[in-house]
Amino acid sequence: MIGEGETVEHLIDLDIVERENGKRIGALPRDYEALGEQLDRRGIAIDAIRDKVAAFKVAVPSWGVGTGGTRFARFPGPGEPRDIFDKIEDCSVIQQLTRATPNVSLHIPWDKADANRLKQSASRFGLGFDAMNSNTFSDAAGQKQSYKFGSLSHADAATRQQAVEHNLECIEIGKTIGSKALTIWIGDGSNFPGQVNFTRQFERYLDAVKQVYAALPDDWRLFTEHKMYEPAFYSTVVQDWGTNYLIAQETGPKAYCLVDLGHHAPNVNIEMIVARLIQFGKLGGFHFNDSKYGDDDLDAGSIDPYRLFLIFNELVDAELNGAKGFDPAHMLDQSHNVTDPIESLMLSATEVQRAYASALLVNRKALEGYQDTNDALMATQTLKTAFRTDVEPILAMVRYQSGGAIDPVAAYRAAGYRAKVAEERPAVASGGGGIV
């Protein structure tokens, strides 16, 4: 990021960021030092944690900056992005203030545009592109075959072929803009017992995914995303991590499982799924969000921050142990129905960073000792000690030292960005929905 200030455009006035930081810079070094002292007593060097957190990034989904909705209604906010170029501008604000989100994940066909324009638009703000996301869960305008009864697993060969070709197109677009991964999530399944033959449907899916995989460049990864139910309500083709693992195993070494936190049954032990996928070299990455009941797509860490921490506890364990092939992609996948999406995404990126920072504080040597001596109480307290430590001064220091805002939401509100874009962007009838 050194030298970025000279070449990269900022949509939030740097004077405003400086003024807002000025209000907080008196306290920050004192808070950081106090935490540093506390960590030092535990044998942890705060600057080493800070450096790791500074290197941690999470991608923003293009569809996340528009207001989401439910199947009942959508209540658009002011200044909604009208197209991918408005979305990239909004994403740049998130990156400018948090310094945690340098990459944007595109969704095709919603974000389809001239590749050179996409690249120019992103490089204006120093942004790059994360995984490409295909869409065969809804019909695009003018497409020949309908996905009403499925896509990659459809009983009709021409429909499957169309879905394969769409994924190949996503790879081609991704190649031109510097993406290195394709994420496939399908809505295929059934709504009634007897509607489909489970085995034949899954055979058709595997055959189609292998065709997509065959077109994957050598330095790309294929992520398949499981989801228990919805839109199919009786059975879903890629319903859980077990099926997802089978797909990755059957497909090849560049195929990995993507874990969306909201795509499991209530009370499922997601951190354990993460551990299993790591152990067998098939964890591709995450769609971070939070939920209370189902695939609620709420802000990361807003409902159960301890669960997010426990997931990161597994990730840090793998990182420190040098788990083979461990390189998970991090992305937010949320739907913001009642908040300003930019504010939610800024705070969510921070929450993911927070879980990572907290997990770095776990005394792993002590934990292993308690595990080996069956001291359940002290083992769990070892995790709690890390979780309870307020790492905010580390996160704030990382943002400040990398040119972001000590308090991103305060700086964003002070800049009046939303009111400004509301004047430039007249309300449109609807944007892409996109809760995947």
Q: Tell me which residues touch Mn ion (CB under 5 A).
A: 260, 287, 333, 436
> CB-based contacts of 327: which residues, under 8 Å, 6+ apart?
none
115 and 207 in contact (C-beta within 8 Å)? no
Q: Which is nearer to Mn ion, 318 or 436 (CB)?
A: 436
Q: Reduced to 3 DSSP states, what percent helix, strand and coil does the chain have, rounded to the nearest 5?
A: 50, 10, 40
Report whether the peptide linkage leading into residue 266 is cis, meaning its omega lies within 30 degrees of zero: no
Residue type at position 83: D
Q: How far is the CB of 123 from Mn ion (least distance, A)?
A: 27
Minimum gap (Å) between residue 262 Cβ and Mn ion: 7
Sign of CA dihedral 248, 253, 254, 258: positive
Min dist CB 331 to Mn ion, Å, is 8
- Taking the complex as a whole, how short is the minimal distance between the CB of residue 409 and Mn ion, in angstroms? 25
Least distance (Å) between residue 29 CB and Mn ion: 39
On the CB side of 398, CA atoms within 13 Å amount to 24
Give the residue with the Cβ less far from Mn ion, 125 or 129: 129
Question: Rounded to the nearest whole angstrom, what is the least distance from the CB of residue 287 to Mn ion in the complex?
Answer: 4
Nearer to Mn ion, 68 or 393 (CB): 68
Dihedrals φ, ψ of 427, to 5°? -60, 140
Query: Based on CB atoms, which residue is closest to Mn ion, 89 or 295?
Result: 295
Residue with Cβ nearer Mn ion (258 or 278): 258
Spell out the long-range contacts of 200-207 with Cβ–Cβ below 8 A and sequence spacing 24 or more.
Answer: 201/150, 201/153, 201/155, 201/237, 202/153, 202/237, 202/243, 204/152, 204/153, 204/154, 204/155, 204/160, 205/152, 205/153, 205/237, 205/238, 205/247, 206/247, 206/250, 206/251, 207/160
Q: Give the nearer residue to Mn ion in terms of CB position, either 261 or 361.
A: 261
